[in-house]
Amino acid sequence: MPFSRVIGQATPVDVLRRALRSGKSAHAYLFEGIEGCGKGTTALAFVEATFCGRDDGCGTCPSCRKMGKLQHPDLHMVEPDGAFIKIDQIRELQRELVLRPVEAPLKACIIRDADRLNPSAGNALLKTLEEPPGNALMILLTTNLDGVLPTVRSRCQLLRFAPLSEEMIEEQLVAAGRDRAGARLAASLAGGSLGKALGDEEADTIDRAALLKRLGAFSLSDTAPLFAAAEEMASNREQALKQLDVLTSLLRDILLIQGGSDDVINRDIFPLLENEAARLSRERNIERITNTMEARRALMRNANPRLTLDVLLMRLAE
């Protein structure tokens, strides 16, 4: 897992490689950024380089080969057990970190979703951060910096990971075998997350033309189709989120057309987008984008799906 596998995160990678070259790595790091932007890949590359004794893993020595398979005896991974990381997991990690390394110059641990440490686990981890073992490297990953205990944050070197550009994600998807049109659509829906784009081929299966026509047919004078659509979407939260992502992409394209641009993502249904752009004002379309994004955020916060989608579709039909 060399640093070359990390896409679009030149700043944090440069910080880590400089630390490796100087021999002045921190004992604890906190990597913050959206899911799928490269935090985990960077953490593994940093540990591999540390174990290899270089500013990047060679990829060929026994240590690097074991890291490539995630089978190195001095690498320890912690992730939530259910909803939280529990104190027993941290205590087990502490027992491992105080032992001498088996093969590497030090022991390393990667703690995923550090914002999901329960209070007792967070306090236990804090003791290790305050009095770190001399031969341990700790890397915490989070998508929610505010959810990490302030006392834990203050004892780690913070590195921020930016969302990836749509162009960068599109090129990675094409390189992975996706067709250009599908890659462009997936990149536009990924929100800067390559991980999401790579695992989200279902977006290609959503009938965008049908979704747009259905949206145009909704009316407050006949709410039965509207509520039927909301009930159908609410039956599967993940699928509903994907549909809202696609809808946001369509509405954004309509807004571009209303502004005089034809640089749209969904070019294969351009006539339908033009018709919708002519049907409503630009201000009304901005309202629809805002409503759709608010509904998506509500679903992500575990709001009631049926109520959220009922309200959204009624607002879109106004």
* pLDDT at position 188: 79
Q: Using an 8 Å Cβ cutoff, are 23 and 210 in contact? A: no
So what's the pLDDT on residue 18? Answer: 95
Alpha-carbon dihedral sign for residues 81, 85, 91, 95:
positive
Q: What is the pLDDT of residue 182?
A: 76
Q: Can you say whether residue 31 is alpha, beta or left, with left for phi > 0 and alpha for psi between -120 and 50 degrees?
A: beta
Q: What are phi and psi of 162, to 5 degrees?
A: -80, 150
Please name the residues in contact with 282: beta carbons below 8 A apart, sequence gap of 6 or more. Answer: 255, 258, 259
Q: Which single residue is written with the structure tokens 């969302």? A: 163
pLDDT at 152: 93
Task: Give the integer Cα–Cα distance in Å for 149 and 155.
Answer: 10
What span, in angstroms and rounded, lies between the C-alpha atoms of 155 and 158?
A: 9
Domains and CATH numbers, the chain: 3-160 (3.40.50.300), 206-317 (1.20.272)
Q: pLDDT value at position 176?
A: 79
pTM over 0.75: no
Question: Looking at residue 200, what is its pLDDT?
Answer: 57
DSSP state for residue 28 in the 8-state scheme: E
**Which CA distances in Å does 5 have to 44, 55, 197?**
10, 14, 16
Give residue 53's pLDDT: 92
Could you tell me how many residues make up the chain?
318
Each of the 318 residues of the chain gets a pLDDT tens digit; together they read 789 889 999 999 999 999 999 998 999 999 999 888 999 999 999 999 999 999 999 989 999 999 988 899 999 999 998 889 999 999 999 999 988 999 999 999 999 999 999 989 999 999 889 887 778 999 999 999 999 999 999 999 999 999 999 889 888 888 878 778 778 877 877 778 888 777 655 555 677 888 888 888 888 888 888 888 888 888 888 888 888 888 888 888 898 898 888 777 787 788 888 888 898 899 999 999 999 989 988 888 888 999 999 999 999 887
* 157 vs 234: CA distance, rounded Å: 41
The type of residue at 280 is L
As given in the structure block, the two tokens for residue 27 are 């004992």
